[in-house]
Amino acid sequence: MIELIHLTKEFKKPIRGKGLSGMIKTLFSRKYEVIEAVKDVSFTINEGEIVGYIGSNGAGKSTTIKMMCGILTPTKGKVLIDGVEPYLKRKQVAPKIGVVFGQKTQLWWDIPLIESFKVLKEIYQISDEDYEERLHFLFEVLSIDKFLSQPVRTLSLGQRMRADLAASLLHNPQILFLDEPTIGLDVLAKQKIREAIKLMNAKYKTTVILTTHDMNDIEDLCSSVVMIEKGSIIYDGPLINIKHKFGNIKTLVLSVDPQLNLDDVAKFKGNIEIKKEEDRVEIRFDADKVKLENVINYAFATLKATDMKVNDISIETVVKKILSEQEKSK
């Protein structure tokens, strides 16, 4: 079980003056600006859960994850993993957790992947049988066996991410922290990563904490969601609630004739939102209430669109909506 209790992390950032005189001034007097990356965050994650930890860029997700796995020490409050603070008892907590940072590899850059695995086997003191069994399982779900003998630096991003995920699972951690594990991956590669996470969770009851910018990751994997914005939690609960709130919102972006007059064409009443900027029209609608087909037909027949793109709702939109709703309820 993971508990976060009034967790706060402040960073001190020196304020630098501008130009040469400013630089000289900062040599003698240093002023600091305190940035609260995470403010009074509390939540609990139970064993075997897959939790999506979401928020826009710079909201404090990574900072929280880094405190949970013991890299950063909180300014105030604490993290408890099975009752132990990870940044105080690193060696005690380390065997229980696996971590993947999507933007940085943890594998040794210059040595073949399999050698990295062997090093991890020794560091975590994994027995031969366990190692073989797990390697076999990971080969199957992540199909990494094809590039095992290549140095990590020669792997593609998708391969590297799968390799990183495999490396974090070798010692069969009870808790898996995934910080943007699907960043920059194509749809197929994302699919593979998700499948592996699901299988791992089903087979070993691994608790998973996942940050991502892809709503599909969340829908596919997570039963509950914690949402953070500017360092504070704005939502903590089951995914279903969010889905109810937002329905299945999609955005259609169209290219149209700039002369088109939108006033004549609004016919979906309320269930749809249309915005126009020169030759660009954005239609936002709930795909559970209005059929996508109808909207597309309307776009081509009535609006005479020349090009079109369908977007799923983004995390930023969800965050914005939740924030504005909270404003209203105040």
Partner 1 sequence: MLKRYKPFLRANAMDLLAYRFNMIVWLLVTLLQAATLVFLWVSVYRSAPGGIDAVINGFTYKEVIVYTVFTTIFTFVTFNSETLWLINSDIRKGTIGNYLIKPISYRGKFIASSLGGYLTMMVMFGLPLFTISYVVFGLVGFIAIPTWYDLVFHVFLFLIGQTLAVLLNDVISYIFGLLCFYTSSGWGLNQLRATLISFLSGTLLPLAFFPPVFKTIVNLLPFAGLSQNPVLILLMKYDYLMSLKVLGLALGWLIILELFAKLLFRHAIKKITVQGG
The minimum distance between CB 146 and partner 1, in angstroms, equals 25
**Shortest Å, Cβ 81 to partner 1:** 12
Q: Please say which residue, 6 or 89, places its beta carbon nearer to partner 1.
A: 89
CB of 114 to partner 1, least distance (A): 13
CA distances in angstroms from 319 to 58, 63, 287, 316, listed in the order given: 13, 18, 20, 5
Alpha-carbon torsion, ordered 35, 37, 40, 45, to 10 deg: -170
**CB 65 to partner 1: min, Å:** 10
The residue (of 18 and 91) whose beta carbon lies closer to partner 1 is: 91
The minimum distance between CB 280 and partner 1, in angstroms, equals 32
Cβ-based nearer residue to partner 1, 8 or 73: 73
Cβ proximity to partner 1, 170 vs 254, nearer residue: 170
The least CB distance from residue 148 to partner 1, in Å, is 18
Closest CA to 168 of 62, 61, 69, 92: 69
CB burial of 77-102 (b: ≥16 within 10 Å; e: otherwise) equals bbbebeeebbbeeeeebbebbbbbbb
Residues 6+ apart with CB under 8 A from 189: 157, 158, 161, 162, 182
Minimum CB distance to partner 1 smaller for 69 or for 138: 69
Residue 301 and residue 209: Cα distance in Å, rounded?
Answer: 45
User: Residue 119 or 299: which CB sits closer to partner 1?
Assistant: 119
Of the pair 124, 268, the CB lying nearest partner 1 is at 124
CB of 68 vs partner 1, minimal distance in Å: 10
- Least distance in angstroms from the C-beta of 94 to partner 1: 4
- C-beta of 103 vs 329, nearer to partner 1: 103
Interface residues with partner 1 (CB under 8 A) are 11, 62, 66, 69-73, 90-91, 94-95, 97, 99, 101, 103-104, 106, 118-119, 122-125, 179
